[in-house]
Amino acid sequence: MTPVDLVWLVPALPLAAMLIIFFGTRMVEIAVQPRPAAVPAPTDHGGHGGHGPADAATTPDTEAGHDATDQTAHTTHGAAAAGGGHGEHGGHTPFWPMLSSIIGVSALLLSFALSLLILWQFLDVNGDVFHTKNLIATGKDIHLYNWFTIGSLNYSIDFRVDTLTVVMLLVVTGVSTLVHLYSIGYMAGDPGYSRFYIELALFTVAMLILVLGANFLVLFIGWELVGLSSYLLVGFWFYHNPPPPGSEVPYPPPAQLKAFVTTRLGDFGFLIGILILFTATGTFNFIELNTKTQAMDKGLLTLAMILVFCGAVGKSAQFPLHVWLPDAMAGPTPVSALIHAATMVAAGVYLVARLFPIYEGVAGPQALAVVGYTGAFTALFAATIALTQNDIKGVLAYSTISQLGYMFAGLAVADTNTVGMYHLFTHAFFKALLFLGSGSVIHAIGAQDMRKMGGLARFMPWTAGTILVATLAISGIPPFSGFWSKDPIITTALEKGNYIIYGLTLFTAFLTAFYMFRLFILTFGGQGSFLGLWGGHDQYRGDAHPRESPRVMTFPLVVLALATILIGLAGFAGFNQGFAWFLNHGVNVDFPVAPALDANTFIGVGAGVLGILLAIAVYGYGLRLNVALASSAVTRPIYRLLYRRYFLDELYLWLIRVVVLGLSNLCALFDAYVIDGIVNGSARAVRGLGNITRRSETGILQNYGAAIFGGAMIILILVFVATGAIGR
Amino acid sequence: MQWLLPVIVFAPAIAGVALLLFPQRPAKLIAAGATLAVFLLSLWLYFGLLNGSATTFGDVLHPQWAVDEPWINIALGTFHFRVDYALGADGLSMPMIVLNALLTFLAVVGSWHIDRRIKFYLALILILETGVMGVFAAFDLFLFILFWEVELIPMFLLIGIWGGARREYAAWKFLIYTLVGSSFTLAGIFLIYVQTGGQSATYQHYASVASQLTGSLPLFGGSVSLPLVLFLLLFAGFAVKIPMWPVHTWLPDAHTEAPTAVSVLLAGVLLKMGAYGLIRICLGFVPQGVQEIAPLLGIVAAINVLWGAGASMVQHDMKKMIAYASVSHMGYVLLGVAGAAASVGGASLLDFRQAALTGATLQMFTHGAITGMLFFCVGVLYDKAHTREIDIFGGIATRMPREITLYSIACFASLGLPALAGFVAEYLVFTGTYALLPAQTVFAVFGVVLTAGYLLWMLRRSFFGPLNLKWRGLTDATLREAFPLAALAVVILFVGIYPQPLVDLITPAMQQTLHTVVQALAVH
């Protein structure tokens, strides 16, 4: 019994934790808490501005306001709850909910430890420790159980552990453990504390099923279940009041709906793609597909792979289905870190990486071209929006979309899936760090508008320091991890002669550095000596009393910052080369993952440095470029276009209102007037006829008999006469 | 063990008549006890058959524990009118029998609070159960249509007496629609009886001659294929029941007006009678007829899916929304059958045919459980709020945590979320039919997007957001109210995670049916 044989425990442990919390600690928690009165009294939730269901009752809500269907009818609610700002300094968590979180964290720690053991076993190439030789090349298939077999078609629940899966297992369990831990602080005192841990565990289970799946069936199950947990967690604070009009902060109830339905739209294409592949090959299994697709019609296969990529476009929030991800920030910030930055949204990248042998080797070049151009375009597109947003989580959301675009571009330009996957790997850590850091800020001041921040570094040195590390990493500055993963994408595009993707990604690198340092300075610094980071005047523009978050929250930040630094430093020792070797099943690949110290690399890093310098000039030294651009008559429309996110939300809403609901109304009206009109009309005609021919009173039952048999006989006679069947 | 099936079929009606003799409280207990006993017996039958000889069980030619006695035999010259008292169960009918028994039991539990003429109400529910059981268990076409018509009377009365404001309109609409449809079916039954020799109306007889049933009938000088005529006549009644677009408009009205438990039974099992007839009788006995029209049937199935989903999207009444959702989801059954019968590919696509047909049969079961659960959820809410209007609520999830948890499970099952039953059936139908009717399947698959849209939009409007203070006094579902919901949730989860036992039972029956279909293809 080696660790890899126990891989089913990796998802089973969080599943067990979920069930224990759901049926155990949470039930006890509900049983021991005092029964709420029919009308909830306004209670103090330890400073949680607007988190309790009770708060709805304290606001001057009117019953008339609910007659309108539109959410804007609710805007009269008190502003205290608006925006999902997470009160100051948290509250106290009672015993039973606390037990829930301890169960959750323990299960995840065990899963992570097991994943590490599996990694060790894979690295144990000669079988010295585990007596499993060369697992790195072969991987391991684990058959769990059969759904059913129909003829030669197998619907079975199989796991497969190979190097790609091991990488994902580590990323998912690692980041998830830290987020579980962090949430003890962030969610402290929340009335839905246990529910939060149930849903977080559900997500982890689903994501692990997704990466462990050996076939499309299992992968799709995980794929949809992460969608469910995303839906639940985005809507975690479903009882919040809507934010005031004009706020950039998303509102949970519509956001969760949008997230699920938009990704489902991508899944529609994904499912059709699966159907094409399944019909042609008769299998869902990835290994079998690698060989069996070779006999397929090239054009059909290419189409199928593009359709499969549609699923990735939805899940990984690529243009044009990216609109759900910024809204998904309505969920608690730990959720944004885990699901909407580090892991789930990377599932699309994982999907393409998983099917890379087919994309790269079997399907036509158009398939990867679609992946690459979608990714590169999205990278730039999202970065331009990020330039103008004021919501700290909004900027990070667009930055996530942009970085996911990089990953797709990396998958498309290189000969292996290593380049894209390596960016997924490093990005998971520094983006989780950015989100958890922003959560620390939001937790401290109860606001997420950067215009109400500034100078926070002096209050929150740990948060500021760790975020700086992540900001440098995402800007592609050596020696941080982002440099080693992002630069290869840009330089490979150049080497392969793909100048469009090269230009897009290079320019995006400049924008990325700019908007990330804009975020950093607006939040933690300001104008003044040392960018207002320390010394000098207080730069804080808000009215809360910021202080550093508790250690249970800063500890994960430090761990993630260390990971970002160490992975970066290990790059000098060839860590990324080792990653490529590992991901390619223990074979060294030709492709040089390590950026060479040549002119191309300097151009990439130079773009990042330029962006940083510009951000410092504008936001640290008062170069009023931003104000000029936003107010000049020429550039103001462009600024507005970016600030309003290219008006895509409005366009989609219009399409739904006019096209979808329009057609739906047509269906309903057709039923009500045309079909029912005919039905009711003929009923009236029959009744009229009945009045003429009525001879005597009859009961219901006799009418039945007459109708049933009389009708049948008439029809039968008509048929017989018409066909002449009787005469034969 | 031959007594088991007749007991399952007739015990409910006997109990239903008997309980009228008792006072109200014992009568309720009798109803609950009888339906529970029938449910347990049906499980016994199910597992008894499942563990029986796996090689012979499960198809229409080899029903186990079946009954077949001559009942009516009238000779008019050379013409014999013969009806057999034949009952049997195979992989197609068995899941429906279990589902009917379960839903009727839960319906009785869910009707516990009804005050108005409760005894009469329960008696009708029990007689309805017998009618529906008979439809699924009959192994003789005339017996089948007899039960089919018997079921109408209690349903008509249940809607007409215990229904909502427009109950009379809804009840009559239901009755007339069904009667007109079943007149055609009855005509078809006479015609197929005559055309296949006029000696026996048992299923075994039809199934064994099905592939030879060809030829054409002269029609006003031209000629028309006999299987097609037979199919169209037989299918008319089933199409109304399924309900197939465009003869579906009785369903939203009937559902909206019917009391909760009746809606559950209507959507859960009565619609399945149409789908059952389509598979058992149309596909099983006149496969060429289905084949000739399969692509068209696939198109209508896609219309069903999208039309139903679209109409659901704009409903204001929760029940009406779920009724249209039923129209949409029954489209998947139609699609699976159309795919299984499509004439492309011949025998080479047999596995895909089987996947499609198994999926359609599974969808009958899963849709029954899921939609039953949805109607129960609405019922719980309606009993407390006395309204079902989606937009009138708002944020009530905070007041009803138990209700929203179960309601969400039902909604997600309905929109085809994996690990819940609906996904298994839909996935099977899609993976099967795409090989046979790709264009129709693509359109039908788009239904999954719309389904997610209208169900989650409903949840968002009614349950999420700040609490509408009008509903601050709303209380959560009691344990008694939550029991049917939880029971169905368990079934839905079990089938969603481990569908093998159900599929194993269905498969042999489908193999036999497809054998006929492929034989008919070869003859063609």
Which segment, A91-105, A498-512, A614-628, A696-710, is predicted with the most confidence on average?
Answer: A498-512
> pLDDT tens, A226-239?
999 999 999 999 99
Confidence at A536, pLDDT banded by 50, 70, 90: low
Close Cβ partners of A693 (under 8 Å, ≥ 6 residues apart): none
- Alpha carbon separation from B484 to B25, B103, B481 (Å, rounded): 20, 9, 7
B58, pLDDT greater than 70: no
Q: What is the mean pLDDT of residues A80-100?
A: 63
The reply to whether residue B466 touches residue A61, judged by beta carbons under 8 angstroms, is yes
Q: What is the mean pLDDT of residues A248-261?
A: 91
Q: What residues are paired with B494 via a beta bridge?
A: none
B352, pLDDT greater than 80: yes
Whether B434 contacts chain A with CB within 8 A: yes
Q: Which of A63, A260, A278 has the CB atom closest to B470's CB atom?
A: A63
> Which of A67 and A94 is assigned the larger pLDDT?
A94
Which residue in chain A has the smallest CA separation from B230? Answer: A719
A79, pLDDT greater than 50: no
The reply to whether residue B466 touches residue A271, judged by beta carbons under 8 angstroms, is no
Whether B218 contacts chain A with CB within 8 A: yes
Q: What is the mean pLDDT of residues A99-107?
A: 93
| Residue A479 preceded by cis peptide, ω within 30 | yes
Q: Which DSSP symbol is given to B138?
A: B
In angstroms, the first-to-last Cα distance of chain A is 76
- Please say whether the dihedral angle defined by the alpha carbons of residues B304, B305, B308 and B314, taken in this order, is positive or negative: negative
CA distance A707 to B464: 49
CA distance A470 to A433: 7
> pLDDT tens, A179-193?
999 999 999 888 889
The CA R_g of chain A, rounded to the nearest whole Å, is 29
CA distance A195 to A201: 10
* Predicted pLDDT of residue B227: 87
CA distance B337 to B339: 5
Q: What is the mean pLDDT of residues B134-146?
A: 92
* Predicted pLDDT of residue A728: 43
Whether A152 contacts chain B with CB within 8 A: yes
Relative orientation angle of helices A499-524 and A392-413, to the nearest 10 degrees = 160
Confidence at A503, pLDDT banded by 50, 70, 90: very high
Of A557-566, B62-71, B460-469, the range with the lowest mean pLDDT is B62-71
| Chain A residues 39-58 within an 8 A CB cutoff of chain B | 39-40, 53, 56-57
> pLDDT tens, A460-489?
889 999 999 999 999 999 889 999 899 889
Q: What is the mean pLDDT of residues B125-145?
A: 93
Closest Cα in chain A, distance from residue B2 (Å): 30
* Predicted pLDDT of residue A114: 95
Q: What is the mean pLDDT of chain B?
A: 89
Tell me how far the alpha carbon of residue A46 is from its chain's centroid: 30
* Predicted pLDDT of residue A233: 94
DSSP per-residue string spanning B443-489: HHHTHHHHHHHHHHHHHHHHTSSSPPGGGTT--PPPHHHHHHHHHHH
B524, pLDDT greater than 70: no
Closest Cα in chain B, distance from residue A445 (Å): 24
Contact A441, A347 (CB under 8 A): no
* Predicted pLDDT of residue A243: 87
A39, pLDDT greater than 60: no
Contacts of A671 in chain B (CB under 8 A): 248-249, 252, 311
> pLDDT tens, B160-187?
889 888 888 888 888 888 888 888 999 8
Residue found by looking up tokens 């063609």 in the block: B524
Q: How many CB pairs under 8 A join A and B?
A: 234
A589, pLDDT greater than 90: no
Close Cβ partners of B498 (under 8 Å, ≥ 6 residues apart): A145, A147
The reply to whether residue B456 touches residue A683, judged by beta carbons under 8 angstroms, is no
A538, pLDDT greater than 60: yes
* Predicted pLDDT of residue A727: 43
CA distance A329 to A431: 14
Whether B110 contacts chain A with CB within 8 A: no
Which residue in chain B has the smallest CA separation from A191? Answer: B398
User: What percentage of chain A reaches a pLDDT higher than 90?
Assistant: 51
Which residue in chain B has the smallest CA separation from A235? Answer: B464
Closest Cα in chain B, distance from residue A706 (Å): 11
A702, pLDDT greater than 60: no
Confidence at A195, pLDDT banded by 50, 70, 90: very high
Whether B509 contacts chain A with CB within 8 A: no
CA distance A433 to A414: 28
H/E run at residue A718: helix A711-723
A70, pLDDT greater than 70: no
Phi-psi region of A127 (alpha: psi -120 to 50; beta: other; left: phi over 0): left
* Predicted pLDDT of residue A520: 93
CA distance A51 to A237: 7
Q: What is the mean pLDDT of residues A351-355?
A: 94
Q: What is the mean pLDDT of residues B248-259?
A: 91
Q: Which two tokens stand for residue B244?
A: 């197939």
The three-point CA angle B342-B330-B402 to 5° equals: 145
Residue found by looking up tokens 């397929």 in the block: A296
Confidence at B205, pLDDT banded by 50, 70, 90: confident
Of A259-263, B19-23, B519-523, the range with the lowest mean pLDDT is B519-523
* Predicted pLDDT of residue B469: 87
In angstroms, the first-to-last Cα distance of chain B is 41
pTM of the model: 0.90
Q: Which two tokens stand for residue A141?
A: 């298939």
User: What percentage of chain B reaches a pLDDT higher than 90?
Assistant: 54
CA distance A316 to A332: 19
The reply to whether residue A716 touches residue B187, judged by beta carbons under 8 angstroms, is yes
* Predicted pLDDT of residue B231: 92
Contact A45, A189 (CB under 8 A): yes
Contact A420, A410 (CB under 8 A): yes
CA distance A108 to A11: 9
Residue closest to B250 by CA, chosen among A679, A683, A711? A679
Tell me how far the alpha carbon of residue A309 is from its chain's centroid: 16
Q: What is the mean pLDDT of residues A67-73?
A: 33
* Predicted pLDDT of residue A151: 85
The reply to whether residue A275 touches residue B434, judged by beta carbons under 8 angstroms, is yes
Q: Which two tokens stand for residue A725?
A: 């069947």
H/E run at residue B183: helix B167-195
Q: What is the mean pLDDT of residues A167-184?
A: 94
Whether B50 contacts chain A with CB within 8 A: no
Q: What is the mean pLDDT of residues A23-27?
A: 88
Amino acid found at A519? L
User: What percentage of chain B reaches a pLDDT higher than 70?
Assistant: 97
> pLDDT tens, A658-695?
999 999 999 889 988 888 888 888 777 776 766 655 54
The reply to whether residue B186 touches residue A708, judged by beta carbons under 8 angstroms, is yes
Whether B457 contacts chain A with CB within 8 A: yes
* Predicted pLDDT of residue B425: 94
- Alpha carbon separation from B242 to A6, A120, A286, A677, B334 (Å, rounded): 47, 57, 38, 21, 9
Contact A47, A91 (CB under 8 A): yes
How many Cα atoms occupy the beta-carbon half-sphere of A418 within 13 Å?
25
The reply to whether residue B453 touches residue A707, judged by beta carbons under 8 angstroms, is no
* Predicted pLDDT of residue B321: 94
Phi-psi region of B10 (alpha: psi -120 to 50; beta: other; left: phi over 0): alpha
Residue closest to A256 by CA, chosen among B316, B464, B448? B464
| Chain B residues 479-498 within an 8 A CB cutoff of chain A | 498
Residue closest to B251 by CA, chosen among B180, B314, B328, B303? B328
> Which of A715 and B158 is assigned the larger pLDDT?
B158
Closest Cα in chain A, distance from residue B503 (Å): 7
Closest Cα in chain B, distance from residue A61 (Å): 7
Contact B413, B492 (CB under 8 A): yes
A72, pLDDT greater than 80: no
Q: What is the mean pLDDT of residues A321-345?
A: 92
Helices (H), A391-542: 392-413, 418-445, 461-474, 481-495, 499-524
A698, pLDDT greater than 60: no
| Residue A11 preceded by cis peptide, ω within 30 | no
CA distance A611 to A518: 10
Relative orientation angle of helices A392-413 and A365-386, to the nearest 10 degrees = 160
* Predicted pLDDT of residue A53: 41
Contact A646, A320 (CB under 8 A): no
Phi, psi of A45 (to 5 degrees): -95, 50
